Amino acid sequence: MAGHRTPSRRRILKAAGVSIALPLLESLNATNAVAAPKRDEPAKRMVFVSTGLGMNPRTFFPDEFGADFAPSPVLPAMMKHRNEFTLFSHMDHPNVFTKHAGIRSLLNGVLNKNARPGQNISIDQVAANHVGYTTRFPSLHISLGGAESASYSSSGILLRQETSPEALFKKLFVADSAAARKARALELEEQGSVLDLVRTRARRLERSVSQTDRAKLDEYLTAIREAEERLQGKRRWQNIQKPEVSKKEYDPAARGHGDLDYGFLSPVMFDLLTLALQSDSSRVITANFSMHNRLIEIDGVTKGYHTLSHHGNRESHLRELQIIETFYMEQLSRFIGRLKGINTNGGSLLDDTMVFFGSGISDASRHSNRNLPIILAGGGLKHQGHFDAERRHNGKQTPLNNLFTTMLQHFGIEIESFNGATGNLNHVLA
């Protein structure tokens, strides 16, 4: 295109960075029902909820194993769903010893700084690639308290998160104006032309580069293909009306005190995630409570979150940390309860949704990446209460990617092993 300045790879990918999807969805007034699936088998969904500073092992893990375990100090709110979740002990990523940096390895189990693109894709993106453009957004990502993504594309790109429920609401449910849609269509057309040009030049170069450079070029071409797929998805959904929600379900005029008003923001966030699943806007979602040292606005908390997590066994710090972590479990329980209350074909939305809770760090006070706090709920799986995942023959922990392998298989993906998993947990959950 004459006079057109060719953007950099970074700019191309940024412009194409929002994944969108294919089929027509009727406008949804958010009622207590889900649109009928297009297949005989109900659509599967995954939600990954994480915390930036782990969970104190002393108050998270129950003392007993099995279905009839007594709850630990932070778990009482979850016990109303006792038969619908499994809490795992002795499970982690065996090759991750990176303290706080383990947070970004939670969803792939890979030391990302050493991984080549294609080797560090996260579980949510494997699932999102499987869904493709069946939904408007192959995946959605939100983090409270600041951005802290653990989601990596197949080309190794760390995916962007929304950092407020308000921004997520606009993305999901606020229609663009006619002028904005027209401008977006022109922008997408220009981006497509640039990608065509870049791909053609890369293909020419491919014939004359060394083997080492060819590998780098393959990574580049993979990123271009991903950008093209996102552009095609955007084009297909460009003129399809977004779902509608009533103020009863979400009031966009409501505001919290600030970005750490978790008492307000967290329920709103999970309500939006419920609406996203309910309207089939996406089937793969990540949500995170970020790592920081600011004061979380929850009654009884007076110190920064990072300070409390590095408690040094001081009782005053432990009491306030328990307030925060109990709040996390209450919010998870509330979310699970909402999914249970939404009817689908012969069951509930929870039956079709695997809800994962965890962190890439376990005991933040010791900077430990061992024995991660892991819960898996819903999904129509056979849940086990508190399950001891320690391997009896060698006393080692089970790789978390074994659980992720089972989740992907249950999602309908034909995969033998996810990112170096040594097996799966089908014998436990399936």
Question: What's the rounded Cα separation, in Å, for the pair 389 and 87?
Answer: 10
Mean pLDDT to the nearest integer, 294-309: 98
* Average pLDDT of the segment spanning 24-30: 34
The 3-state DSSP class for residue 299 equals: coil
335 secondary structure, DSSP code: H
List phi, psi (to 5°) of 204: -65, -40
pLDDT value of position 334? 98
Among 371, 379, 385, 319, CA closest to 355: 379
CB 243 within 8 A of CB 279: yes
Q: Is the pLDDT of residue 4 over 70?
A: no
Three-class SS state of 173: helix
pLDDT band at 391 (very low <50, low <70, confident <90, very high): confident
Mean pLDDT of 414-425: 95
In the predicted model, what is the mean pLDDT of the chain? 84
Crossing angle for the helix pair 165-173 and 262-278, to the nearest 10 degrees: 20
Sorting pLDDT into bands at 50, 70 and 90, what band is 246?
A: confident
34 touches 344 (CB < 8 A): yes
- Angle at which helix 262-278 crosses helix 315-340, to 10 degrees, equals 30
pLDDT of residue 187: 61
pTM for the model: 0.82
User: pLDDT by residue (tens digit) across 67-82?
Assistant: 999 999 999 999 999 9
312-319 mean pLDDT: 97
Confidence class of residue 24 from pLDDT cuts 50, 70 and 90? very low
Distances (CA, A) of 267 to 20, 78, 139, 208, 285: 25, 16, 20, 56, 16
Q: Are strands 385-388 and 85-89 parallel, antiparallel or unpaired?
A: parallel
pLDDT tier at 160, thresholds 50, 70, 90: very high
340 in Cβ contact with 81 (< 8 Å): yes
What is the rounded CA–CA span in Å between residue 169 and residue 165? Answer: 6
Residue 400 near residue 390 (C-beta atoms within 8 A): no
Compute the distance between CA of residue 157 and CA of residue 154 in angstroms, rounded to an integer: 7
In the predicted model, is pLDDT for residue 185 greater than 90? no
Please check whether residue 332 is in contact with residue 51, taking contact to mean a CB–CB distance below 8 angstroms.
Answer: no
What is the structure's pLDDT at 201?
65
Q: For 77-135, how does the pLDDT look when each residue is reduced to its tens digit (9 = 90+)?
A: 999 999 999 999 999 999 999 999 999 999 999 987 767 667 789 999 999 999 988 89
Long-range CB contacts (< 8 A, 24+ apart) of 72-79? 73/322, 73/326, 74/322, 74/325, 74/326, 74/328, 74/329, 75/329, 76/326, 76/329, 77/326, 77/329, 77/330, 77/332, 77/333, 77/334, 78/329, 78/332, 78/333, 78/336, 78/375
Q: Is the pLDDT of residue 373 over 70?
A: yes
State residue 154 phi and psi, 5-degree precision: -65, -15
Q: Which band of pLDDT confidence, cut at 50, 70 and 90, is reported for residue 251?
A: confident
Find out whether 102 and 370 touch, Cβ atoms under 8 Å: no
Distance, in Å, from the CA atom of 352 to the CA atom of 270, rounded to the nearest integer, reads 17
Give the span between the Cα atoms of 34 and 22, in whole angstroms: 18
pLDDT for residue 394: 78
Tell me the pLDDT tens digit for each residue of 334-360: 999 999 999 998 899 999 999 999 999
